[in-house]
Amino acid sequence: MHSCIRRCPVTVALVAVLAITAPLRGQQDNPVYVDDSPQAWELFRRAADQSRDNTAEAVRLYQELLDDFALKLIPVRENEPDQFQCVRLRVLHALQGDANLLERYRLIQTAEAQRLLDAERLEDLAMTRSLTEPGLEALLMLAQRDLESARFWMALSWLDQALTHPDLAGRRAAHAWYMTGLAAHHVNQTAQQAAAREALAKLGSDGAVFVQQLDALAADVQTP
């Protein structure tokens, strides 16, 4: 559902190399192409223009992009048409980069996000309205589900988004960092595990018990 996190940005130069080497692997009938969308690019540019004077319209356009074009590719910048990033990442960056626009977005979209959460449509919620408070709940629930199913990289992908969420604080922050430490431990990402422990320590009483559990996990690994 969120493969754009792994495949973006994509450059035309890389695509050209793949296209040249594909015949050498006997893939003449499988041309490589960039899954871009001129329509999405036009909507994104309109949303950026509207964000200055008409935040409600900007929110509507950005949400249309998240609903209908999330995994399509658009240029990274106006003056760099040959480098691409998935729509979802560009929209999230645009919303997070404007405090007033983000506040308006959350005000407008939280009700629908709560409806999706109540209907247990977690993937839809996380993909389309992750910056709302119900969106944070979906990210954490999906991360816990994947962690418990030993899909550690998937869990870390959801957690990476949760850790920059505007509503992450207190016990939810402690839970997110603890899951990050656990998943990082299982995929041997020691630096990420150490960063999770440090973040938990800074949370004080909310993170203390999780620090102890991560330390116990690390001690078990170090014991012959």
Q: What is the pLDDT of residues 114-139, one digit of tens each?
A: 999 999 999 999 999 999 999 999 99
Q: And the tokens for 127?
A: 């993909």
Band of the pLDDT at 2, cuts 50, 70, 90? low
2 and 87 Cβ atoms separated by less than 8 Å: no
pTM of structure: 0.82
State the amino acid at position 27 in one-letter form. Q
211 Cβ contact partners less than 8 Å away, ≥ 6 residues apart:
197, 200, 201
Q: And the tokens for 152?
A: 């550690």
65 Cβ contact partners less than 8 Å away, ≥ 6 residues apart:
40, 43, 44, 47, 87, 91
Nearest to 196 by CA among 182, 217, 208: 182
Q: With 80 as the cut, is the pLDDT of residue 6 above it?
A: no
